[in-house]
Structure 1
């Protein structure tokens, strides 16, 4: 498949989406958002073999945020709904989403990190929200960012407008792994992530999206989810096989 703003490759059950607008700092325009949404929709379809989706930028810039040139030309930022819906699909879809971060991430680019299940950043990464400097605020990013790092940390990051280093972003909870080489770290993660099956990922993420982290309020949903999982014949078969043969589900 060829795209105007992306480079896309699929190897087995792993799809890699690379932003490819280097002359614009991989800024988000309507075309990039639409193409990315198309790929994510294909990957999250029930009949797709893909279980891991990686989002990447360039070596110097992951994503500079919204396309300010398009805004200044048109006098409008366009409809924000497609980008929000794309982040929602990454956050809650039946695949594991991984952001591989090198260089600078700004504004709307942070939304991809906040919506990802796992964020791997190289030591050179710098991640910030600059919107308030322009009289704006990251309205669409914040729901995902707050869910990932908490309200006060998201508030502080928004107010300061200062880019965080990779280590600072890890301390805040926005980055999971800081690595000298993001590609090497990603490959190490794939050794485990590619063992997961799509139905299990889908069930888990559906449960996680509704889980509030409040034991009393979450009790009934947790009990119902537990009972449903153990009624699954495939789950029970895997357990019986392990008990009788000491073989994990992926082992021959």
Structure 2
């Protein structure tokens, strides 16, 4: 009902965004939170996880120029975040580092997913950076304390590498990706772009005792009330490095999203 009202009355949607952003600004003042803000170009010695994602993929019928624009936006965002160190007790916040993506800072129009559809907007496309960070964090003992996922699946799986639903949506500033360090180990994200990929790695100042394997389970498409939905679970195995034994298995995510494309046209 709320989404229908905001579509009918765009001013209500804009007012709601202002309200949510002001509330997040207020909650950011919480003195109990210590945000990660120190960056260094000296890479910590132990590599926990590396990953890369294609910069250009076929995304339905979307304008390919918007993907080129996305690359510009990613470069600007990566420059604000590469080398960030998350010390014990600190919280990584995507938006505390990137800040508001405005044209004055060089950001241009890219793809945005909003209100159940695909739109154009300044700074669009940097969710890809959130996806990369979230996936790497799942392979460490860091705790993801805030993560959002779109309620709809907008594009078919053309060159999709990671399981459906393993990304993280970001929208300034109240839809954030936040990662807390509950350990006594210091972690660091390194991020960069090549001609074809967005690349990243997460490092630590000491060897962590476990490795992590993340996998999809119980994936399915289903029909409900005349609409198509996609559902799955993301599980993580925590593996002892010395013995190779799996210490435990954890269900990290349950995803349920409306499919916005024609399944039959993608086969």
> Is the structural similarity TM-score above 0.5?
no
**More contact order relative to length (CA 8 Å, sep ≥ 6):** 2
Please state which structure has a larger fraction of its residues in strand: 2
TM-score, scaled to structure 1: 0.29
Please state which structure has a larger fraction of its residues in helix: 1
TM-score, scaled to structure 2: 0.28
